[in-house]
Structure 1
């Protein structure tokens, strides 16, 4: 399958070959270095985080709100999350929010033995509820964890190592208990309610709403380059990343 992908300048603090600036030694991934003063100090990037905060865009302007309705094992959902949504969020998280709703074409039933039937089988139901529990239990770390899972060859097997990488303070046992208990069911039921409330109703996945609306035109633009769409829709001062150039590549997936 050939896909046309947008390539983004994903340079962060660690994107350097200059050996005169050693990488910080800490237990947190780069995506969390500026989440709190304590983490910034431990990772020795306090100055960089302060400079980043000083250059952030006007917080009075609402961010672009992106909600993705998807399925954990849907190939098209996986490509969109890993090749469009996560790279865009990595660069533009100061001007956009992302909400993930793993459910898609799942069917909900009242039977205790089979509460949900998923398009790609029982494994997908398991993946959906794990990701719903990860979102509930890890908060801001959830998106990197889910993207890590979706980028792996085996989504379910990657769940525990991805959790340990991006949220080392959250135990796998808590996620496992959530996914197998009433909390997991409640989270999935909430996702079912959100998905059924879509207007217009979704006809495929991934299904994207932006600022609370589904527009076919925006979906087409998002599939081509969500990054440029978010930059276009943001009403405040554009961040420096929005001036970056786009490169079109043709890539083969076997």
Structure 2
């Protein structure tokens, strides 16, 4: 599922740093705001509820030209793969946090799994049954949480225990989605449908994947781009974006008019 949140990473950082100066206190929105900072500018209604409409309007003025398509990054991975977890926590999430206005992220948890014609055990995974369960949990979370999915998956990947972290990460970053709905997805037909879709997407890769993490850009894979992504995904996304580079890519100073007390 494509994850294309509206608020930029720079905006989220700005709002958090200035929150206590505009009346939030302790860098958190007032109790009436039920959304995490990453979603405060996703819509006018949310901005008004969280009392940041002025700040959102100011930051909108420096966003890249939305007529230029963003860089599409798709990660094919496994929930318990150590290399996948490192790439997620050290490259993908930090890059997306800063450059989400010029990139979209699609997560496909499946990797080196195999789909079997068995009702009792329809999938086998490289790191055993716990990884199959982790893949399905993450597939359900991606399906159910939408805009908050990357936050939740990053939280799980960077935790000491991926599976144990699933419920608290969901509660932290997508509190409107109940853990029971994830469990129902995992145990029901929906979870298997989502995993089958991921299997189909993974098998359709051309060239076929030989390892994970496997990353495509705008639907294409090259070994050169993969090498660049593993060392500095941030610079690669800036390089691949065809529009006017945002300040996060160029390092250009941006002046935002705002008052202080």
Specify if TM > 0.5.
yes
Q: Which of 156, 167, 177 is residue 160 of structure 1 equivalent to?
A: 167
Cα shift at 1:170: 1.0
Per-residue deviation, residues 132-169 of structure 1 (Å, max 9, x unmatched):
11111111111111111111111111111111111111
Q: Any conservation in 1 of the 2:12–2:37 contact (CA below 8 Å)?
A: no
Q: Which of 232, 243, 249 is residue 236 of structure 1 equivalent to?
A: 243
Q: Which of 96, 117, 120 is residue 127 of structure 2 equivalent to?
A: 120
Which structure 2 segments of 5+ residues have no match? Answer: 1-8, 253-261
Partner of 2:104: 97
Cα shift at 1:234: 0.2
Q: Which of 74, 80, 90 is residue 83 of structure 1 equivalent to?
A: 90
Cα shift at 1:72: 0.4
Q: Any conservation in 2 of the 1:9–1:244 contact (CA below 8 Å)?
A: no
Higher percent of residues as strand: 1
Higher percent of residues as helix: 2
The 2-side partners of 1:17 and 1:31 are apart by 14
Moved more, 27-36 or 64-73: 27-36
Q: Which of 24, 46, 50 is residue 53 of structure 2 equivalent to?
A: 46
Partner of 1:134: 141
Partner of 2:208: 201
Q: Which of 113, 116, 131 is residue 109 of structure 1 equivalent to?
A: 116
Structure with larger RCO (C-alpha < 8 A, sep 6+): 1
**Deviation beyond 4 Å, 4+ runs, structure 1:** 8-11
The 2-side partners of 1:121 and 1:57 are apart by 44
The 2-side partners of 1:195 and 1:98 are apart by 16
Q: Any conservation in 1 of the 2:12–2:38 contact (CA below 8 Å)?
A: no
Q: Any conservation in 2 of the 1:77–1:206 contact (CA below 8 Å)?
A: yes
Q: Does 1:181 align with 2:188?
A: yes
Per-residue deviation, residues 75-127 of structure 1 (Å, max 9, x unmatched):
00001001100111111111101000000000110101110001011111111
CA RMSD of aligned residues (A): 1.9
SS of the aligned residue for 1:69 comes to: strand
**When the two structures are superposed, what TM-score results if normalisation uses the length of structure 2?**
0.86
Q: Any conservation in 2 of the 1:10–1:87 contact (CA below 8 Å)?
A: no
Cα shift at 1:42: 2.2
Cα shift at 1:59: 1.1
